Amino acid sequence: MKISPDRCTVVIAGAWNVAIFNPGFVAKNIFGGQEAPQPEMIIGPEGTSGQYTGSQFTFGVQKSKIIWRPLSTEPEVLQRVEGAAGGLLEVLSATPIVGIGFNYGFDVDEPTERLQRVLDLSDMAVIEESGEVSSLVMIKRSFSGDRVRINFSITCEANGPVKLDFNFHREVADAIDAKGCLLGSVTKYRDRAIQLLGDWYGLTLEAE
């Protein structure tokens, strides 16, 4: 099993003033004044939004959310993302915040026996007998825990890896609450996802 940094993000949902996030503000308050991130404009459902790429992570801002995407999932990179996010919440503490999502994606080229049993759905044989060929299997589950909701999906396309994706979602009252929920959580939830995949399917993580 390999972790996919492209599918690993920290998302803070709220009502963001996009105009604040000019290159100077982002360089100082997101990247700590240590580097000049590469800016890019993205056109999406919410209109034009800004995205900035530095040496360790990408930062994007939209009206309804801001997104950090680490370029690797090494602990020091995740800690820098966490520190940058916490610092921004402190600077913009009046911003209405409603939730934080910690997302982690994994790819499995050779499913274990336990995972394969999940993919072999009970009605698959009947469907194939009718002449239909399955090109995609998608399974979604949701669990509730201590202040966190875990949304988990398994996706398997023909001739592709099995994709396992976690979303750890926490509802928050405001920016101060969000910062408290954030600290220590980026690495903790990554490790929790790896542990669950080991417990459920006997999977182990390969080195990046």
**What are 126-174's pLDDT values in tens digits?**
767 676 666 788 999 999 977 899 999 999 988 889 999 999 999 999 9
Instruction: Indicate whether 206 belongs to any domain.
Output: no
Instruction: Indicate whether 208 belongs to any domain.
Output: no
What does pLDDT average to over the chain? 90
Number of Cβ within 10 Å of residue 90's Cβ equals: 12
Instruction: Indicate whether 207 belongs to any domain.
Output: no
CB 156 within 8 A of CB 164: no
User: Percentages helix, strand, coil for the chain, rounded to the nearest 5?
Assistant: 35, 35, 30
Q: What is the pLDDT of residue 188?
A: 94
Instruction: Indicate whether 6 belongs to any domain.
Output: yes
**What are 80-109's pLDDT values in tens digits?**
999 999 999 999 999 999 999 999 999 999
> What distance lies between CA 27 and its chain's CA centroid?
23
Could you give the percent of the chain with pLDDT greater than 70?
Answer: 92
pLDDT bin (cut points 50, 70, 90) of residue 193 is very high
pTM score of the predicted model: 0.90
Q: What is the pLDDT of residue 54?
A: 93
**What are 60-70's pLDDT values in tens digits?**
999 999 999 99
Average pLDDT for 2-12:
96
DSSP 8-state assignment for residue 120: S
Domain of residue 152 covers 2-201
Tokens of 187: 């690495």
SS3 161: coil
Q: Is the pLDDT of residue 45 over 90?
A: no
CB 188 within 8 A of CB 148: no
Instruction: Indicate whether 64 belongs to any domain.
Output: yes
Instruction: Indicate whether 122 belongs to any domain.
Output: yes
Instruction: Indicate whether 188 belongs to any domain.
Output: yes
SS3 76: helix
Q: What is the pLDDT of residue 175?
A: 94
Instruction: Indicate whether 16 belongs to any domain.
Output: yes
> What distance lies between CA 160 and its chain's CA centroid?
21
Query: Total structural domains in the chain?
Result: 1
How far is the C-alpha of 176 from the C-alpha of 63, rounded, in Å? Answer: 20
Q: What is the pLDDT of residue 166?
A: 98
